[in-house]
Amino acid sequence: MKNLRHIVLLSFYDVCTPAEIKLVEDGLDALPSKIPTIKGYERGINNSPEKVNNGLTHCYFLTFYSEKDRDEYLTDPAHLAFKSVMKPYVRDLLVVDYWAK
């Protein structure tokens, strides 16, 4: 089975507290249990010694089995509600989707 990867890279405002960052992380962590089209999920914080992350510090990696599944996730009420919670804390964001080979 082919996997559609949805990568979200982001950075938080410098004034964000650990509790605010945890609020965003917890919100993302909850999405797989709320949105059945998410087939895989993991996250982590950048630790690359190359220093070419352009300030993006956090990575969220979601897997879908089809573009339809991904599109349903994008418009799911739980995802849309999470985006409004996340918005005040996120300084920069980059999203890349690709079919894994």
Please state whether the predicted TM-score (pTM) of the whole model is above 0.85: yes
**For the residues 34-63, what does the mean pLDDT come to?**
97
Crossing angle between the packed helical segments 77-86 and 67-75, to the nearest 10 degrees? 60
Q: Where are the domains of the chain?
A: 4-99
3-state secondary structure the chain: CCCEEEEEEEEECCCCCHHHHHHHHHHHHHHHHHCCCCCEEEEEECCCCCCCCCCCCEEEEEEECCHHHHHHHHHCHHHHHHHHHHCCCEEEEEEEEEECC
pLDDT digits over 1-24, tens only?
799 999 999 999 999 999 999 999
CATH code reported for the domain at 4-99 = 3.30.70.100
